[in-house]
Amino acid sequence: MTQDAETLGTMLARRGFGRRSLLKFAIVMTSSLALPPSLAPVMADNLAKAKRQSVIWLSFQECTGCLETLLRSSAPTIDALIFDFISLDYQEALMASAGAAAELTLRQAVAANQGEYLLAIDGSVPLKDGGVYSLTGGRSNVSMLEEFAVGAKAILAIGTCAAYGGIPKAHPNPTGAVGVEDVISGKPIVNIPGCPPVPEVLSGVLVYFVSFGRLPDLDDRKRPLAYFGTTIHDQCYRRPFYDQGKFAKSFDDEGARQGWCLFELGCKGPTTHNACASLKWNNGTSFPIESGHGCIGCSEPDFWDQGGFYTSLAGGSAAGWRNAGIAAAVGLAGGAAAALSARSKSSRPPEDKP
């Protein structure tokens, strides 16, 4: 039996992992995906019967931070996922040294899994000037995306750049960067935003897809509802201080030392949907707010253009003193003109009229 034809259950059994191990893993994943506990045995059975899922991963206009964080994580071990549950048939950064051979592998994988592979994208898609600002092997990202999306069963937009355009899309967006869903329509797309995204979220989506053959429930921005259904603020351990009106005024004041809410220091937790506060980072060590810095809202669209990271959500972009002065001058002139016009219509004060 070739490895690709082998089921996951058989493969795990061959490696000494019994059904109990798979069931434990399924329990963790159903919990992570906010599924009923009763689905854990179903997930375990489905995983045991599943064959390795072909994944083709294309990197576009990005910094490789998404891939770095996913590979370095210990999330229900992404490396185990890559090598055991999925077949990562193509990933440019990991296969860079293979050169042209990697491109051949890509063609073969697409042909062998037509209509069945998952297309994972990290990085935004530059559209300006024909997409010349990001090329792979001389081909623009947009043409590759359009070609390989056709045969994909679903598309995973990994990271805020792939989901919404991210930092490359920030004003003035010199490359005309957009997210995957701005280019592709008619295909199931799941956005896993974050800069970088939480590794467990990708694991959860992949396991759900392998187990049930479809994408998990998504919100209106095509994000997995289980992970993006609530805000950082809702799950934040500093939330009680927000309700009590106890705010740190600077990063080194007594309030900050007491762990008070970082709202006044610009925390974007109230408007940011992500699972950082519950899943945390680095083996569940902490997340940015726990480390003393406000959330910067990196998993939200256009997060780079939402004002300063250290400007409170309560504030806004002011009209500016110069514009305020012009408005005051216009108002004064208009009011004076109206008053003088009214005076000119009457030579005597109103009180003296008969």
Partner 1 sequence: MTFLAFARGPALQVATLIMIAGIFWRLAGVLLLRRRVAHAAARAPFLRRLTGGAKTIVTRTIPRKNFWPRVATGVSLGWVMHLGLFVILFAGAPHILVLHQITGLSWPNLPKGVIVMASAITFAALIALLVRRLTHPVLRLLSNVDDYLSWLLVFLPITTGILLSGETIAGYGTLLALHILSVEALMIWLPFGKLMHVALVFAGRGMMGFNFARKGAAT
Report the interface residues with partner 1, using CB under 8 A: 231, 233-234, 242-247, 263-264, 270-271, 273, 300-302, 305-307, 312-319, 323-324, 327-336, 338-340, 342-343, 346, 349-352
Give the 3-state secondary structure of 242-257.
Answer: HHHCCECCCCCCHHHH
Task: Give yes or no for a contact between 268 and 278, defined as CB atoms under 8 angstroms apart.
Answer: no
Report the residue number, 38 or 341, with the smaller CB distance to partner 1.
Answer: 341
Size of the chain, expressed as the number of residues it contains:
354
Report the residue number, 96 or 339, with the smaller CB distance to partner 1.
Answer: 339
Task: Give yes or no for a contact between 154 and 209, defined as CB atoms under 8 angstroms apart.
Answer: yes
The answer, yes or no, to whether the previous bond of 172 is cis (omega within 30 of 0) is yes
Cα dihedral 262/267/268/274 (nearest 10): -70
Report the residue number, 16 or 220, with the smaller CB distance to partner 1.
Answer: 220
> From the CB of 317, what's the least distance to partner 1, in Å?
5
> From the CB of 278, what's the least distance to partner 1, in Å?
17
> From the CB of 320, what's the least distance to partner 1, in Å?
8
> From the CB of 23, what's the least distance to partner 1, in Å?
36
Report the residue number, 98 or 332, with the smaller CB distance to partner 1.
Answer: 332
Q: Which residue has the tokens 């005024």?
A: 249
> From the CB of 300, what's the least distance to partner 1, in Å?
8
Task: Give yes or no for a contact between 227 and 267, defined as CB atoms under 8 angstroms apart.
Answer: no
> From the CB of 238, what's the least distance to partner 1, in Å?
13
3-state SS class at 48: helix
> From the CB of 239, what's the least distance to partner 1, in Å?
11
DSSP 175-234: T-EE-GGGT--SS-EEEE--SSPPHHHHHHHHHHHHHHSSPPPB-TTS-BHHHHSSBHHH
Burial of residue 337 (CB within 10 Å: 0-12, 13-18, 19+) is exposed
Report the residue number, 92 or 300, with the smaller CB distance to partner 1.
Answer: 300
> From the CB of 161, what's the least distance to partner 1, in Å?
17
Report the residue number, 114 or 346, with the smaller CB distance to partner 1.
Answer: 346
Query: Residue 46: left if φ>0, alpha if ψ -120 to 50, beta else—which one?
Result: alpha
Task: Give yes or no for a contact between 215 and 208, defined as CB atoms under 8 angstroms apart.
Answer: yes
Task: Give yes or no for a contact between 196 and 122, defined as CB atoms under 8 angstroms apart.
Answer: no
Report the residue number, 98 or 330, with the smaller CB distance to partner 1.
Answer: 330
Report the residue number, 3 or 317, with the smaller CB distance to partner 1.
Answer: 317
> From the CB of 26, what's the least distance to partner 1, in Å?
31
> From the CB of 298, what's the least distance to partner 1, in Å?
15
DSSP β-ladder status, 177-178 and 125-126: antiparallel
Report the residue number, 259 or 270, with the smaller CB distance to partner 1.
Answer: 270
Task: Give yes or no for a contact between 26 and 18, defined as CB atoms under 8 angstroms apart.
Answer: no
Report the residue number, 50 or 277, with the smaller CB distance to partner 1.
Answer: 277
Q: Which segments of the chain does DSSP mark as H helices, in order?
A: 8-14, 19-32, 39-49, 65-72, 78-80, 100-112, 141-150, 160-164, 199-212, 225-228, 232-235, 239-244, 254-257, 276-279, 321-344
